[in-house]
Structure 1
Amino acid sequence: MSDKELISVQKVIVHHNLDEQFIESIESFQLIEFIIKDSNKYLHTEQLPILEKIIRLHYDLEVNMQGIDVINNMLDRMDSMHKTIQQLENKLKLYE
Protein backbone atom coordinates (compact mmCIF):
# COMPACT_ATOMS: atom_id res chain seq x y z
CA MET A 1 0.00 0.00 0.00
CA SER A 2 1.53 3.27 -1.05
CA ASP A 3 1.32 6.54 0.83
CA LYS A 4 -0.75 7.96 -2.03
CA GLU A 5 -3.57 5.61 -1.00
CA LEU A 6 -3.60 6.97 2.56
CA ILE A 7 -5.28 10.08 3.91
CA SER A 8 -4.28 11.65 7.17
CA VAL A 9 -7.07 11.42 9.74
CA GLN A 10 -6.03 14.85 10.97
CA LYS A 11 -6.82 16.30 7.52
CA VAL A 12 -10.20 14.57 7.54
CA ILE A 13 -10.93 15.99 11.00
CA VAL A 14 -10.11 19.50 9.85
CA HIS A 15 -11.95 19.18 6.53
CA HIS A 16 -15.16 17.80 8.06
CA ASN A 17 -14.86 19.81 11.31
CA LEU A 18 -14.90 16.66 13.47
CA ASP A 19 -13.69 16.06 16.97
CA GLU A 20 -11.15 13.44 18.02
CA GLN A 21 -13.76 11.67 20.18
CA PHE A 22 -15.88 10.95 17.09
CA ILE A 23 -12.94 9.28 15.35
CA GLU A 24 -12.13 7.30 18.51
CA SER A 25 -15.75 6.11 18.66
CA ILE A 26 -15.58 4.96 15.04
CA GLU A 27 -12.38 3.10 15.82
CA SER A 28 -13.74 1.52 19.01
CA PHE A 29 -16.78 0.18 17.13
CA GLN A 30 -14.41 -1.03 14.38
CA LEU A 31 -16.49 0.69 11.71
CA ILE A 32 -13.34 1.71 9.84
CA GLU A 33 -9.81 0.37 10.00
CA PHE A 34 -7.25 3.07 10.65
CA ILE A 35 -3.56 2.68 9.90
CA ILE A 36 -0.90 3.91 12.30
CA LYS A 37 2.24 5.07 10.54
CA ASP A 38 4.97 7.25 12.03
CA SER A 39 2.74 7.77 15.09
CA ASN A 40 0.04 9.33 12.90
CA LYS A 41 -3.34 7.84 12.08
CA TYR A 42 -4.29 7.33 8.43
CA LEU A 43 -7.29 6.15 6.50
CA HIS A 44 -7.21 4.15 3.28
CA THR A 45 -8.77 6.14 0.40
CA GLU A 46 -11.23 3.32 -0.32
CA GLN A 47 -12.72 3.82 3.14
CA LEU A 48 -13.33 7.54 2.73
CA PRO A 49 -16.88 7.09 1.33
CA ILE A 50 -17.69 4.84 4.29
CA LEU A 51 -16.41 7.48 6.70
CA GLU A 52 -18.45 10.17 4.96
CA LYS A 53 -21.57 7.97 5.20
CA ILE A 54 -20.92 7.53 8.93
CA ILE A 55 -20.48 11.29 9.33
CA ARG A 56 -23.82 11.95 7.57
CA LEU A 57 -25.64 9.31 9.63
CA HIS A 58 -24.26 10.66 12.89
CA TYR A 59 -24.45 14.41 12.37
CA ASP A 60 -27.32 14.83 9.88
CA LEU A 61 -29.62 12.06 11.11
CA GLU A 62 -28.34 11.98 14.71
CA VAL A 63 -27.78 8.21 14.70
CA ASN A 64 -25.55 7.01 17.54
CA MET A 65 -22.59 4.67 17.03
CA GLN A 66 -24.58 1.58 18.01
CA GLY A 67 -27.20 2.48 15.39
CA ILE A 68 -24.54 3.11 12.76
CA ASP A 69 -23.00 -0.27 13.54
CA VAL A 70 -26.39 -1.97 13.10
CA ILE A 71 -27.06 -0.08 9.85
CA ASN A 72 -23.64 -1.03 8.44
CA ASN A 73 -24.16 -4.69 9.36
CA MET A 74 -27.60 -4.72 7.75
CA LEU A 75 -26.31 -3.03 4.57
CA ASP A 76 -23.46 -5.55 4.36
CA ARG A 77 -25.91 -8.44 4.71
CA MET A 78 -28.23 -6.92 2.11
CA ASP A 79 -25.32 -6.51 -0.29
CA SER A 80 -24.30 -10.13 0.27
CA MET A 81 -27.88 -11.32 -0.32
CA HIS A 82 -28.08 -9.21 -3.48
CA LYS A 83 -24.91 -10.83 -4.83
CA THR A 84 -26.28 -14.28 -4.01
CA ILE A 85 -29.53 -13.50 -5.81
CA GLN A 86 -27.57 -12.30 -8.85
CA GLN A 87 -25.55 -15.52 -8.89
CA LEU A 88 -28.67 -17.66 -8.57
CA GLU A 89 -30.42 -15.73 -11.36
CA ASN A 90 -27.41 -16.26 -13.61
CA LYS A 91 -27.43 -20.00 -12.88
CA LEU A 92 -31.15 -20.16 -13.54
CA LYS A 93 -30.69 -18.50 -16.94
CA LEU A 94 -28.33 -21.31 -17.91
CA TYR A 95 -31.10 -23.87 -17.40
CA GLU A 96 -33.79 -21.96 -19.27
Structure 2
Amino acid sequence: MSNKELISIQKVIVHHNLDEQFIESIESFQLIEIVVKDTDKYVYVEQLPTLEKIIRLYYDLEVNMQGIDVINNMLDRMDMMRKTIQQLENKLKLYE
Protein backbone atom coordinates (compact mmCIF):
# COMPACT_ATOMS: atom_id res chain seq x y z
CA MET A 1 0.00 0.00 0.00
CA SER A 2 2.97 2.32 0.14
CA ASN A 3 2.51 3.45 -3.48
CA LYS A 4 -1.12 4.48 -3.00
CA GLU A 5 -2.30 8.05 -2.87
CA LEU A 6 -2.76 9.57 0.58
CA ILE A 7 -5.04 12.31 1.85
CA SER A 8 -4.48 14.31 5.01
CA ILE A 9 -6.68 13.46 7.97
CA GLN A 10 -6.81 17.19 8.68
CA LYS A 11 -8.47 17.76 5.27
CA VAL A 12 -11.02 15.03 6.07
CA ILE A 13 -11.73 16.61 9.46
CA VAL A 14 -12.30 20.03 7.90
CA HIS A 15 -14.32 18.72 4.96
CA HIS A 16 -16.67 16.60 7.10
CA ASN A 17 -16.61 18.94 10.12
CA LEU A 18 -15.39 16.14 12.41
CA ASP A 19 -14.02 16.08 15.92
CA GLU A 20 -10.40 14.92 16.23
CA GLN A 21 -11.50 12.58 19.04
CA PHE A 22 -13.69 10.77 16.48
CA ILE A 23 -10.65 10.09 14.27
CA GLU A 24 -8.70 8.86 17.31
CA SER A 25 -11.56 6.48 18.11
CA ILE A 26 -11.53 5.13 14.56
CA GLU A 27 -7.79 4.68 14.83
CA SER A 28 -8.00 2.90 18.20
CA PHE A 29 -10.59 0.45 16.81
CA GLN A 30 -8.40 -0.03 13.70
CA LEU A 31 -11.36 0.52 11.39
CA ILE A 32 -9.14 2.19 8.79
CA GLU A 33 -5.40 2.28 8.28
CA ILE A 34 -3.87 5.59 9.26
CA VAL A 35 -0.37 6.45 8.04
CA VAL A 36 1.86 8.85 9.98
CA LYS A 37 4.41 10.88 8.01
CA ASP A 38 6.36 13.71 9.62
CA THR A 39 3.91 13.91 12.56
CA ASP A 40 0.97 14.33 10.14
CA LYS A 41 -1.68 11.64 9.78
CA TYR A 42 -2.95 10.42 6.43
CA VAL A 43 -5.45 7.91 5.12
CA TYR A 44 -5.33 6.05 1.81
CA VAL A 45 -7.71 7.53 -0.77
CA GLU A 46 -9.13 4.06 -1.45
CA GLN A 47 -10.30 3.95 2.19
CA LEU A 48 -12.36 7.14 1.90
CA PRO A 49 -15.62 5.28 1.12
CA THR A 50 -15.13 3.18 4.25
CA LEU A 51 -14.36 6.27 6.29
CA GLU A 52 -17.45 8.04 4.96
CA LYS A 53 -19.56 4.98 5.78
CA ILE A 54 -18.22 5.07 9.34
CA ILE A 55 -19.00 8.79 9.58
CA ARG A 56 -22.60 8.20 8.45
CA LEU A 57 -23.08 5.31 10.87
CA TYR A 58 -21.70 7.31 13.76
CA TYR A 59 -23.27 10.72 13.19
CA ASP A 60 -26.45 9.99 11.22
CA LEU A 61 -27.49 6.68 12.79
CA GLU A 62 -25.78 7.25 16.17
CA VAL A 63 -24.06 3.85 16.14
CA ASN A 64 -21.19 3.67 18.65
CA MET A 65 -17.68 2.51 17.74
CA GLN A 66 -18.27 -1.02 19.03
CA GLY A 67 -21.36 -1.28 16.84
CA ILE A 68 -19.49 0.09 13.83
CA ASP A 69 -16.75 -2.49 14.42
CA VAL A 70 -19.33 -5.29 14.50
CA ILE A 71 -21.06 -3.97 11.36
CA ASN A 72 -17.74 -3.74 9.48
CA ASN A 73 -16.78 -7.28 10.46
CA MET A 74 -20.19 -8.58 9.43
CA LEU A 75 -20.06 -6.77 6.08
CA ASP A 76 -16.56 -8.14 5.42
CA ARG A 77 -17.76 -11.68 6.14
CA MET A 78 -20.79 -11.19 3.89
CA ASP A 79 -18.52 -9.97 1.09
CA MET A 80 -16.29 -13.04 1.48
CA MET A 81 -19.36 -15.31 1.39
CA ARG A 82 -20.66 -13.51 -1.72
CA LYS A 83 -17.31 -14.09 -3.46
CA THR A 84 -17.31 -17.75 -2.42
CA ILE A 85 -20.85 -18.22 -3.73
CA GLN A 86 -19.87 -16.58 -7.02
CA GLN A 87 -16.87 -18.91 -7.35
CA LEU A 88 -19.03 -21.95 -6.63
CA GLU A 89 -21.66 -20.82 -9.15
CA ASN A 90 -18.92 -20.41 -11.77
CA LYS A 91 -17.64 -23.93 -11.06
CA LEU A 92 -21.18 -25.30 -11.23
CA LYS A 93 -21.70 -23.72 -14.66
CA LEU A 94 -18.76 -25.74 -15.95
CA TYR A 95 -20.63 -28.95 -15.17
CA GLU A 96 -23.99 -27.92 -16.64
Say yes or no: TM over 0.5: yes
- Correspondence list, 1:1-96, <5 A: 1-2=2-3, 5-96=5-96
Query: Structure 2 stretches of 5 or more lacking a match?
Result: none
TM-align CA RMSD: 1.0
Query: Structure 1 stretches of 5 or more lacking a match?
Result: none
TM-score by length of 2: 0.96
Q: Percent identity?
A: 84
Deviation at 1:19, TM superposition (A): 0.6
For residues 28-61 of structure 1, give each alpha carbon's deviation from its aligned partner in whole angstroms, at most 9, with x where no partner exists: 0000010000110001000000000000000000
| CA–CA separation in structure 1 for the residues paired with 2:83 and 2:33 | 24
Q: What letter is aligned with 1:21? A: Q
Q: Secondary structure at the match of 2:18?
A: coil
Q: What letter is aligned with 1:20? A: E
| CA–CA separation in structure 2 for the residues paired with 1:13 and 1:90 | 43
Deviation at 1:12, TM superposition (A): 0.4
| CA–CA separation in structure 1 for the residues paired with 2:60 and 2:39 | 31
Would you identify which runs of 4 or more consecutive aligned residues in structure 1 move more than 4 Å? none
